[in-house]
Structure 1
């Protein structure tokens, strides 16, 4: 069983994000070489919950996404520079051997059925993010750009992609990003994102109240 090549990271990546990587560790050099030999050069990305990216021995989450290599430069001696785009969400069914690099049996995990997410509900999320951004910028003497949360029409027309795109712009911690990614339904993802925005807003207000706006 070959399994899907996997790249555990210390970030919870969301569909639609770009992923730049510099590769030098031998096992990931082999992973990249094998992916580039594929018709569709993809690898899975998951959040490391304990440990580090380099050296192995890490604990990994079971929800992640597929990343597709779109650009690369081979610098020789197993060193690569990559640009990948994060795509569909996946769920890890079984981790396989880490030799020659991490691999897993995975399945696509589209949003499960749940309550509909209306444009009005997305609008409420957008308003909360804009209020947060304005609060942060006001402490620094900046002004919010009118297109701060603009997205491409094809993303705006897809509620699932739209919520991922909005979440990617909120300066939240990795645990909150993972909660957004791992929510089974789109409605649950909106709830997770709303909770994250409120957490970040509370942190910003605390910093402002204590005179720490750096």
Structure 2
């Protein structure tokens, strides 16, 4: 397991610089040719990535290693791809690196999400408009680009994760989306997150 200060979502890419001895050991074990080159990623709810002792979330994602670059000084650069969502059943010893018993957690069937999807697109446009207005007011020449919510998958689960990766939301909201039991619930959580961001931006523009 690799606790991080960020949320990895299924289908998302992840780049890592590995230098801490416990995670160097993890990489070397994952790439020894005896197992799948993958590990679990969970969000650090409280604490730091380096040193241990952090509080971890119980829902994460499998990271499949797609590229390993060995660097001088027992360091590595990894490129990974998020695959399956997992739920932690039990945390094990942290020696030589964090370990856990984890099970795949596929989505439950959900209700039709077409209305939520349409509403989410409207919310995203509203948020972008407010962000651009804030940027102009504060002399920022290049406001953040609008999140593209087009060319999404037809699969409800994949589509819901694609939306979560494209929307300008923070780690806590991304974790809420990851922990949602089904695509409909995930879009509901994303809609709430964007509503909160809109309210915050409107307050800053007062």
TM-score by length of 2: 0.89
Deviation at 1:189, TM superposition (A): 0.8
Unaligned runs of at least 5 residues, structure 1 = 1-5, 210-214
The answer on whether the counterparts of 1:134 and 1:144 sit within 8 Å (CA) in structure 2 is: no
Which of 105, 111, 116 in structure 2 is aligned with 1:121?
116
Partners in 2 of 1:124 and 1:207 — Cα distance? 23
Pick which of 78-87 and 128-137 moved more.
128-137
C-alpha distance after superposition, 1:61-85 (max 9, x if no partner): 1100001111121014320011111
**2:25 is aligned with 1:27:** no
| Structure 2 partner of 1:54 | 50
Q: CA RMSD in A?
A: 2.0
Is the counterpart of residue 149 in structure 1 residue 149 in structure 2? yes
The CA distance in 2 between the partners of 1:137 and 1:11, in whole Å, is 26
Q: After TM superposition, what 4+ stretches of structure 1 lie above 6 angstroms from structure 2?
A: 143-147
Distance 1:145 1:55 in 2: 36
* Corresponding residue for residue 139 of structure 2: none
Residue 42 of structure 1 corresponds to 38
State the partner residue of 2:169. 172
CA gap 1:12/1:147 in 2 versus in 1, 3 angstroms: closer
How far has the Cα of 1:170 moved from its partner? 2.2
Equivalent residue pairs, number: 200
- Give deviations 1:9-51, integer Å, cap 9, x for gaps: 1112221221111000001001011111245211100011121
Displacement after TM superposition at 1:123 (Å): 2.2
Pairs within 5 Å for 1:126-137:
126-137=121-132
How far the C-alpha of 1:146 sits from its partner, in A, is 8.2
Deviation at 1:191, TM superposition (A): 1.1
2:63–2:83 contact (8 Å) kept in structure 1: yes
Sort the Cα spacing of 1:159 and 1:55 in 2 relative to 1 into closer, same or farther, 3 A. Answer: same
Q: Say whether 1:69 aligns with 2:60.
A: no
Give 2:86's match in structure 1, choosing from 87, 90, 93. 90
Using the alignment, how far apart are the partners of 1:139 and 1:46 within structure 2?
A: 33
- Decide whether aligned partners of structure 1 residues 177 and 145 sit closer, same or farther in structure 2, where only a CA change above 3 A counts: closer
